[in-house]
């Protein structure tokens, strides 16, 4: 009886998608608009970092959930890191997906993807206020994104 009750309680507990991957790396990068961005901003406030590529249809589809997340959590910093495409392709993607209101970093060579241990697109890395990282690989649902956003807070 007690074992059954414990199992039921454990299965009702909210889980956060992804796996812990360490601490926030130091970085500085250019946005797709050409401005300098310092990763130091992330350590004090936490953030969700969305890794995408301009040619990825799944990333484009996931963008709707990213936008919905920003509407539901206006104080949450959501940062895009675009990889493996030209600046023009990245800008076109943000316009097409209506995500141009977010800060997007240009990571054409994949250096930031490597620093955050991101193997594929789309992926999301949550950074909490202690600088701890949680990586969620593959497409995320609205519920997954909100769970990660709650973990950040």
Distances (CA, A) of 134 to 17, 60, 108, 117: 8, 22, 23, 10
This prediction has a pTM of 0.86
Residue 59 in this model has a pLDDT that exceeds 80 = yes
Radius of gyration from C-alpha coordinates of the chain: 16
CATH number of the domain enclosing 94: 3.40.30.10
Return the half-sphere exposure (C-beta side, CA atoms, 13 A cut-off) of residue 94. 24
* Averaged pLDDT for residues 16-42: 86
Domain span at residue 46 reads: 18-152
How far is it, in rounded angstroms, from Cα 136 to Cα 16? Answer: 9
Q: Say if 5 falls within a structural domain.
A: no
> Residue 15: what pLDDT?
63
Least confident stretch, 8-12, 13-17, 131-135, 143-147: 8-12
| 123-143: burial string, b at 16+ Cβ within 10 Å, e else | bbbbbbeeebbbbbbebbeee
Q: Say if 8 falls within a structural domain.
A: no
CA dihedral sign of residues 58, 92, 46, 76: negative
Q: What's the whole-number average pLDDT of the chain?
A: 88
Q: Say if 145 falls within a structural domain.
A: yes
Least confident stretch, 36-50, 101-115, 132-146: 36-50
Q: Say if 4 falls within a structural domain.
A: no
Q: In which residue are the tokens 């920003």 written?
A: 70
Q: Say if 10 falls within a structural domain.
A: no
How many domains is the chain built from?
Answer: 1
Return the half-sphere exposure (C-beta side, CA atoms, 13 A cut-off) of residue 136. 23
Percent of the chain with pLDDT over 70: 88
* Averaged pLDDT for residues 116-136: 93
| 26-36: burial string, b at 16+ Cβ within 10 Å, e else | ebebebbeeee
Q: Say if 3 falls within a structural domain.
A: no
Q: Say if 62 falls within a structural domain.
A: yes
Classify residue 97 as left (phi > 0), alpha (psi -120 to 50) or beta. alpha
Q: Say if 97 falls within a structural domain.
A: yes
């Amino acid at each position: 009886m007690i074992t059954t009750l414990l199992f039921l309680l454990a299965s009702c507990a909210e889980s956060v998608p992804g796996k812990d991957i360490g601490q926030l790396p130091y970085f500085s990068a250019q946005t797709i608009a050409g401005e300098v961005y310092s990763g130091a901003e992330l350590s004090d406030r936490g953030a969700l970092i969305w890794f995408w590529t301009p040619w990825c249809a799944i990333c484009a589809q996931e963008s709707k959930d990213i936008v919905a997340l920003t509407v539901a959590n206006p104080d949450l910093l959501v940062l895009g890191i675009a990889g493996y495409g030209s600046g023009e392709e990245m800008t076109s993607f943000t316009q097409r997906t209506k995500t141009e209101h977010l800060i997007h970093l240009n990571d054409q060579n994949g250096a930031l993807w490597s620093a955050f241990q991101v193997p594929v697109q789309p992926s999301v890395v949550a950074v909490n206020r202690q600088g701890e990282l949680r990586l969620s690989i593959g497409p995320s649902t609205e519920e997954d994104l909100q769970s990660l956003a709650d973990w950040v807070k």
